[in-house]
Chains A and B, each alone.
Chain A
Amino acid sequence: MEHIRMPKVENVRLLDRLSSRRAVVGTLYLTATHVIFVENGSETRKETWVLHSQISSIEKQATTATGCPLLIRCKNFQVIHLVIPQERDCHDVYISLIRLARPVKYEELYCFSFNPKLDKEEREQGWKLVDLNEEYNRMGVPNNYWQISDVNRDYGVCDSYPTEVYVPKSATAHIIVGSSKFRSRRRFPALSYYCKGNNASICRSSQPLSGFSARCLEDEQMLQAIRKANPGSDFIYVVDTRPKLNAMANRAAGKGYENEDNYSNIKFQFIGIENIHVMRNSLQKMLEVCELKSPSMSDFLWGLENSGWLKHIKAIMDAGIFIAKAVAEEGVSVLVHCSDGWDRTAQVCSVASLLLDPYYRTLKGFMVLIEKDWVSFGHKFNHRYGNLDGDPKEISPVIDQFIECVWQLMEQFPCAFEFNERFLIHIQHHIYSCQFGNFLCNSQKERRELKIKERTYSLWAHLWKNRADYLNPLYRSDHSQTQGTLHPQIAPCNFLYKFWSGMYNRFEKGLHPRQSVTDYLMAVKEETQQLEEELEVLQERLANLQKSQSGNNKVKSKQQDRSKQFGLYTSNNSLANTPQEYSSDLKSFPSRSPSQGDEDSALILTQDNLKSSDPDLSANSDQESGVEDLSCRSPSGGGCLPSEDSGKDSDEAVFLAG
């Protein structure tokens, strides 16, 4: 590829962030799709794969005696610190990566070259896994109050909306078109969620072009129609998710918010969620805290607070809780908007849906939810996640925040979700990876033009195929937590919002719990299932034997598989790890036994299957099967720091380094 100036550099050092001495030497390769670092060292040859599309920034630091440091920050929060011996090589790598990380055409993205060796039919089946028509039917529409409208069939009314939208039956095409002209980017009110039980609904739109005094009859009729579609209630809430000040400032530009005097029977409500620029800066600040080298507790807590991140997460949750409450408890329909209605509106609608409907808390339902509220309604994935080179001011962690909200809920309701944390982390990864076509472009229209479904694969099919990895062992469909609406506590529960190290320090395994309860319980459950099967077989055989009393045919017991199974999770428990640097005082102490039996580090040697990046997430076509996703799935993988596999005594000094 023409952009690669330097396909291979040898004797590159990969530094460990926690310890400068824990570095490994290897070879760096640049390919058309990945940066690959292969460790030297005969046994393990650990590989680190990073997709170009994951690279968020590359920083070349001042050359030192040992070489030229290159810092690669990834969108999935991996930070790779390389030292390249020659300044010139480093420069070439830097220039190449700068270009590779910022593709200008969709065709350059990985999903167009990624080939998981599925035939055409399987690919098509994959795209059919999530079907929004089916989803609206499941919700109970169309019905007496709601109908599908084809007013946008050629994207003629709104080019960022899907072709098929659900609107109140009483809203004629004339009303819809009229209303769309009175809304930013013509994003007219459309159905997001319908509550079968009480006819209440969640609708979404962009802000009205009301300025200081403008009004629009059709828009007012549209809101009336939404209210009428819920005969049980005599008003609707209009929720503006922006801070009031921002909304007022918009009026000067001819935009703004609904005037309660002009619309009959609405209750207007501001919920102050900050805009994408504030969120981008907040994340940046929090990541700086995560990157601190051995921070003190105060540094960390102070930095976390200062970033404001958890405050923003809480604001989004509060908005979702407000809407869910209005729908479930008051039976009132809600119209949600922000400015353009594709960021905060998507966050809030999806949080509310998740709280309201247990279906969205299942594996399949969660895919449907993202498809419904994000993909189909024109969340600008390309702009927000910087898939193609573009305006950096458009980038913002909007869906990351939604994903975190889900995680925060999972922490509060451990039995309510069918999926586990890993599922969320992998979805986040793929939103940036561009390995699958789902999140390409900014709208359905663009995706159709690019023929995404014919040319790329669907992430949902991939996740569904591996669903065993993503299950929450505590989930039971008949459990009370999986029924009905979730009611998170709102009042003084600031402490319920916690820092998510599993996401933001995802690649620093040393910081995470060393044993995974989820993996352990999943292994137990799997074994239980085998036991159930065996029990059945045994009972049958026993019955036969008792009948005939002559059954001496030896049926091979399943014991062997079972003990293998056992091994799986006992090994999980014999997790080993090594100490961190607890003190700098130890290093000058000379007398150290050179021949120290190191049983725990010896064990680490067997756990070299750890990959620094999710290989399944970064594998290219011919690497697919070779580089399975072990780092996340293998219960032993979580146990050791990336560079600890070489648990030799000579490395001992590492723990004592200053």
Chain B
Amino acid sequence: RFVGSLGTIVIKCKDLRIIQLDIPGMEECLNIASSIEALSTLDSVTLMYPFFYRPMFEVLEDGWSSFLLEQEFEHLSSVTNEWRLSCVNKDFSVCPSYPPVVIVPKSIDDEALRKVALFRYGGRFPVLSYYHKKNGMAMLRSSQPLTGTNGRRCKEDEKLINATLRSGRRGFVIDTRPLNVAQQARAKGGGFEQEVHYPQWRRIHKYIERFHILQESFIKLVEACNDQSHNMDRWLSKLEASNWLTHIKELLTAACLAAQCIDREGASVLVHGSEGTDSTLQVTSLAQIILDPRCRTIRGFEALVVREWLQAGHPFQQRCAQSAYSNSKQKWEAPVFLLFLECVWQIHRQFPCSFEFNEHFLILLFEHAYASQFGTFLGNNESERAKLKLPQKTMSLWSWVNRPEELSRFQNPIYEANSLVIWPSVAPQSLQLWEGIFLRWNRPSRFLEEAEEERINIIKYNKELQAKVNVLRRQLAEMETDGEVQEE
């Protein structure tokens, strides 16, 4: 996006950077501007950079096949046999936004799944999102049930989610809409799980904002951050007016609630909103960050993003098309994924030693979700990716990121595996603006980078010494035994 005048081009980037170029010559300037304009608003996916990008590095591991659901299932089967892999969606006919394979309760057959799919919006029947090994509780996600005004029910749907409950125990449905919105949805054929038909489930409405509200909030916040005035008051009121941190707080609270139901209440949880492709995924993925130490490793976090966002059908192409500087109103644009990343950052800030990755890793994912030379975030779901033949025609972000030389940049020097559940504080005093994203281009960062370097050096030096000491110890031990042998 650009504003051209008198030989000056201002390029406002999706990563929130603003570049100003002064170009001698009015004509050249206009030509360049219109070229940039055209090239930055291609309509066809296949003309985009990932289709032309030729990697300059050696691919050690193909990222397209790094995170298959089959592997995840293998991991799951080692602790429980209550679940199975279903290929009911192998040609994307049951649910166009689901991946070809999903994990469902063992007792539910594919025929039943087909029926449930008809009862859920967009065919998004309840599938396993997370299994809490500690107590065997499960987190499911889906879209809203299509109960309509006359209270339709679906026996298979009830059976499916009841199959995740232990006998005599109840579960929670976390609906990310307020009650009145859920009620209104019935008029359009949607709805929610009614107590009469789901007596073992208790419904909680935990409202999370969506779509254009989030996008407006995003735009306002970025404006506030770029405000050049000197007035302290204006800054805080603008920050407040953007409501961004309110969304962060609400989202974290909902995720904590889901995690609490599973870990503390020992209950299974079903999460959904309307479509089950946005707020639902925010909640399920954040709950896993809180509950599952694996998700706090680099590899585990990548797997989480693949499983809960890409394969789960978050429409990246629609949501991450323009970022915050867009003039044109994009109906589907919304910083849903960015909000998720920021929530992870907030938890990271409160538990700085419990994550294997650092802030740069989160920023990297933000950048690549909006613009990338890799095909990973193209398309809106697995079905579209298959049609575009992305795995064959483009490079995966993971192929690049998971090479040792790249990985080292994203490692948190003070990481120490923490096997516990980590409960973040959601009080306003505990939440901060994510400067690494929003003030990245207009704050002095040198001193912070130096501090980061210092942290790395402290740890590195410690490890080096440790290695040296170990070598010497071994040498000494060997020499001592040699000496003893000689004496004998």
- B351 pairs with A301, CB closer than 8 A: no
Pick the contact of B260: A508, A532, A579 (CB < 8 A): A579
Residues facing B in A136-168 (CB within 8 A) are none
- B454 pairs with A514, CB closer than 8 A: no
Given contacts A301-B245, A498-B432, A520-B353, contact A582 B447 (CB under 8 A): no
Q: Chain A interface: which of B14-22, B230-238, B385-393? A: B230-238
Give A312's nearest chain B residue, CB to CB.
Answer: B232
Residue-wise, chain B 461-476 has the 8 Å CB interface mask toward A (1 for contact) of 1100110110011011
- A600 pairs with B476, CB closer than 8 A: no
Whole-angstrom distance from the CB of B99 to the nearest CB of chain A?
A: 30
- B458 pairs with A583, CB closer than 8 A: no
Q: Judge whether B354 is part of the interface by a CB distance below 8 angstroms.
A: yes
Give A596's nearest chain B residue, CB to CB.
Answer: B266
Q: Judge whether A534 is part of the interface by a CB distance below 8 angstroms.
A: yes
- B232 pairs with A592, CB closer than 8 A: no
A572 to B417, CA, bound (A): 11
- A517 pairs with B423, CB closer than 8 A: no
A495 to B237, CA, bound (A): 12
A24 to B232, CA, bound (A): 41
Q: Write out the residue numbers on chain A whose beta carbons fall within 8 Å of the beta carbon of B461.
A: 528
Given contacts A415-B450, A583-B257, contact A308 B170 (CB under 8 A): no
Number of interface residues of B (CB under 8 A): 93
Q: Write out the residue numbers on chain B whose beta carbons fall within 8 Å of the beta carbon of A541.
A: 476
Q: Judge whether B435 is part of the interface by a CB distance below 8 angstroms.
A: yes
Q: Chain A interface: which of B61-69, B156-164, B436-444? A: B436-444
A220 to B285, CA, bound (A): 71
Q: Write out the residue numbers on chain A whose beta carbons fall within 8 Å of the beta carbon of B229.
A: 492
Whole-angstrom distance from the CB of B269 to the nearest CB of chain A?
A: 12
A500 to B214, CA, bound (A): 28
Residues facing B in A510-543 (CB within 8 A) are 510-515, 517, 520-521, 524-525, 527-528, 531-532, 534-535, 538-539, 541-542
- B447 pairs with A552, CB closer than 8 A: no
Pick the contact of B483: A298, A511, A549 (CB < 8 A): A549
Given contacts A481-B447, A531-B469, contact A582 B260 (CB under 8 A): yes
- A531 pairs with B352, CB closer than 8 A: no
Q: Judge whether B249 is part of the interface by a CB distance below 8 angstroms.
A: yes
Given contacts A298-B240, A305-B240, contact A591 B469 (CB under 8 A): no
Q: Write out the residue numbers on chain A whose beta carbons fall within 8 Å of the beta carbon of B431.
A: 297
Q: Judge whether B403 is part of the interface by a CB distance below 8 angstroms.
A: no
Residue-wise, chain B 418-442 has the 8 Å CB interface mask toward A (1 for contact) of 1111110111111111010001001
Whole-angstrom distance from the CB of A210 to the nearest CB of chain B?
A: 30
- A582 pairs with B135, CB closer than 8 A: no
Given contacts A414-B451, A534-B469, A551-B483, contact A597 B204 (CB under 8 A): no
- B418 pairs with A542, CB closer than 8 A: no
- B447 pairs with A542, CB closer than 8 A: no
Given contacts A414-B448, A479-B450, A494-B230, contact A596 B135 (CB under 8 A): yes
A437 to B205, CA, bound (A): 57
Given contacts A545-B479, A579-B264, A591-B170, contact A310 B430 (CB under 8 A): no
Q: Write out the residue numbers on chain A whose beta carbons fall within 8 Å of the beta carbon of B451.
A: 414-415, 474
- A531 pairs with B465, CB closer than 8 A: yes
Q: Judge whether A489 is part of the interface by a CB distance below 8 angstroms.
A: yes
Residue-wise, chain A 594-618 has the 8 Å CB interface mask toward B (1 for contact) of 0011011001000000000000000
Whole-angstrom distance from the CB of B338 to the nearest CB of chain A?
A: 17
Q: Judge whether B147 is part of the interface by a CB distance below 8 angstroms.
A: no
Given contacts A297-B428, A534-B469, A538-B473, contact A304 B483 (CB under 8 A): no
Given contacts A495-B433, A501-B429, A551-B483, contact A592 B265 (CB under 8 A): yes
- B420 pairs with A600, CB closer than 8 A: yes
Q: Judge whether B154 is part of the interface by a CB distance below 8 angstroms.
A: no
Q: Judge whether A270 is part of the interface by a CB distance below 8 angstroms.
A: no
30 A-B pairs within 8 Å (CB atoms) are namely A297-B245, A297-B246, A415-B450, A473-B458, A474-B451, A474-B454, A474-B458, A489-B444, A494-B231, A494-B236, A495-B235, A514-B350, A514-B422, A515-B354, A517-B352, A517-B353, A517-B414, A525-B458, A545-B479, A546-B479, A549-B479, A550-B483, A573-B354, A574-B419, A579-B256, A579-B423, A582-B253, A582-B260, A589-B265, A655-B260
Q: Which residues of A contact B (CB under 8 A)?
A: 290, 294-302, 304-305, 308, 310-311, 314, 412-416, 473-474, 476, 479-481, 489, 491-499, 501, 505, 508, 510-515, 517, 520-521, 524-525, 527-528, 531-532, 534-535, 538-539, 541-542, 545-546, 549-552, 554, 557, 569-570, 572-580, 582-583, 585-586, 589, 591-593, 596-597, 599-600, 603, 652, 655
